[in-house]
A and B are shown apart, each in its own frame.
Chain A
C-alpha cells in the first residue's frame, strides 16, 4: 500500500476510535476537569491545523458549541463536542499533510 493510503486508513481508524471513546465517556457524565483536558487537546490539534493554514469550519463550530455547553455546566455534551472537534482537527491536519504532495497529481498537464 502507498504511504498516503496507509495514512488515510489510519486517520479513519483514529476518527472512528475517537467517536467511540466520546460516546463511552459521555455515558458516565464527564467531569469539568475531564472536559477541560479534552478541550485543551482539541484546541491544540486545531492550532496545528491553523499553522498548516487548513482549518475546517465544523471544527470551529464544535469548539464553540463545546465551550457553550461547558459554560452551562453540561460537561457530558461539552466533552462529546470537544472530542468531536479534536477528531475533526486531526483529520484536517492529515488532509493538509497528504495534499502537500497529492495536489501535484491534479495539475493540468
Chain B
C-alpha cells in the first residue's frame, strides 16, 4: 500500500512538472520562475545593504535603518498610538455576528496566531487570499456586510489578529500549482515595473533608494515591509491597511491606483510577503 501511494505521488509530481512545463513561458535561463532563488537573492541584497540590521528588525521599516528616527520611535512606543485600534479590534473580533457565530469560526486555530500565513494561495478558487479578504468573506458567509478595506474596523481587526501572531515568522506557502506560480510572477512584475507619469517602480523607492530620504520620509526597505501591518501613521492621523499603503504609493508616482483587494494588489502582497519569509510579524506598527 505504502509503495503504491509513493508511486502515485511520484506520478502526480511528474505530471505536475510536465504541466508546469506546458503552462509556463518557454524557459530561457532567465525567465524560469524560481521563487526560492528569488527569495535568497532578495534577502541577501538587503542583508548586504544593511549589515547591522537583524533580520527581524526589518519589520520596523524606516526605524530599522535610521538612528535618529529610532529614538523618536522608542519614545512614541511608551504609549503606542495603535492601542485604541487594538482594543477595538479585539472587541470586534470577539463580538458574535447576528447569527451567533464569530470570526473565530471562519479561521484555522480560531484566528489566533495565524497572520504569518497570509496571503495564501487558495487552490479551490485559484486565487490569492489576503487576511483582509478572508475577513470580509467570513462576514459575508455569516450574512454581514463587508467592511471598507483601508481604514477603521478592518484595520482594527487586522491589528488584533496581527498582535496574536507577533514573533511568528512569515511562512507564506507557494504550492506546486502553476496558477500559484503565475500569481507570484504577476506580483513580482508589479513590484519591478515602472509605473505612473513619474516612471517609478516599487523597487525604485524600496530597493534602490531604501534607507534614503524622500521629502520628510526615510524609505522602508522592501524586506519585511508588510510585517508591521496594519500601521498607525502620524501622517495619516489614523490606522491604515496594506491596501491603503499600496494605493497611496501608486498615487505618489501619478499612477491611477486600483481598488482595494484588486487581483494585482493581492498578487503583489503575495510576492512581497513570500520575499519576507522568516521575518517575524511585528504588527500592529506605528510610523511617522
From B31, B255, B256, residue with most partner A Cβ within 10 Å: B256
Assess A57 versus B193: contact at CB under 8 Å? Given A107-B38, A107-B188, A108-B42: no
What residues on A are CB-neighbors of B45 within 8 Å? 108
Report yes or no: B42 in contact with A57, Cβ–Cβ below 8 A. Answer: no
What residues on A are CB-neighbors of B235 within 8 Å? none
Q: Count residues of chain B with CB under 8 A from any CB of chain A.
A: 24
Please measure, in the bound complex, the distance between the C-alpha atom of A81 and the C-alpha atom of B189, giving whole angstroms: 32
Task: List CB contacts (< 8 Å) of A48-85 with chain B.
Answer: 53-58, 60
User: B254-268, CB under 8 A of A: which get 1 and which 0?
Assistant: 111010000010000
Report yes or no: A56 in contact with B197, Cβ–Cβ below 8 A. Answer: yes
Shortest Cβ distance from B196 into chain A, in angstroms? Answer: 6
Please measure, in the bound complex, the distance between the C-alpha atom of A21 and the C-alpha atom of B255, giving whole angstroms: 26
Please measure, in the bound complex, the distance between the C-alpha atom of A92 and the C-alpha atom of B203, giving whole angstroms: 19
Shortest Cβ distance from B260 into chain A, in angstroms? Answer: 15
Report yes or no: B193 in contact with A55, Cβ–Cβ below 8 A. Answer: no
Report yes or no: A99 in contact with B193, Cβ–Cβ below 8 A. Answer: yes
What residues on B are CB-neighbors of A99 within 8 Å? 193-195
Please measure, in the bound complex, the distance between the C-alpha atom of A15 and the C-alpha atom of B194, giving whole angstroms: 19
Please measure, in the bound complex, the distance between the C-alpha atom of A107 and the C-alpha atom of B38, giving whole angstroms: 8
Report yes or no: A55 in contact with B255, Cβ–Cβ below 8 A. Answer: yes
Among A55, A58, A60, A103, the residue within 8 A (CB) of B201 is: A103
Among B193, B199, B203, B256, the residue within 8 A (CB) of A60 is: B256
Task: List CB contacts (< 8 Å) of A26-68 with chain B.
Answer: 53-58, 60
From A54, A56, A100, A108, residue with most partner B Cβ within 10 Å: A108
What residues on A are CB-neighbors of B192 within 8 Å? 103-104, 106-107
Report yes or no: A57 in contact with B256, Cβ–Cβ below 8 A. Answer: yes
Among B188, B189, B254, the residue within 8 A (CB) of A57 is: B254
B144 within 8 A of A: no
Among A54, A106, A107, the residue within 8 A (CB) of B195 is: A54
Please measure, in the bound complex, the distance between the C-alpha atom of A57 and the C-alpha atom of B189, giving whole angstroms: 21
Report yes or no: A103 in contact with B193, Cβ–Cβ below 8 A. Answer: yes
Report yes or no: A106 in contact with B201, Cβ–Cβ below 8 A. Answer: yes
Q: A56-B254, A57-B197 are in contact. List 5 more A-B contacts (CB 8 A).
A: A58-B197, A60-B256, A92-B197, A95-B194, A103-B194
Task: Please give the residue numbers on chain A whose beta carbons come within 8 Å of chain B beta carbons, in ascending order.
Answer: 53-58, 60, 88, 91-92, 95, 99-100, 102-104, 106-109
Task: Please give the residue numbers on chain B whose beta carbons come within 8 Å of chain A beta carbons, in ascending order.
Answer: 30-31, 38, 41-42, 45, 188-189, 192-197, 199, 201, 203, 207, 251, 254-256, 258, 264
Would you mind naming 19 contact pairs between A and B with Cβ atoms under 8 Å apart?
Answer: A54-B255, A56-B196, A56-B256, A58-B254, A91-B197, A92-B197, A99-B194, A102-B194, A103-B192, A103-B193, A104-B192, A106-B192, A106-B193, A106-B207, A107-B38, A107-B188, A108-B41, A108-B42, A108-B45
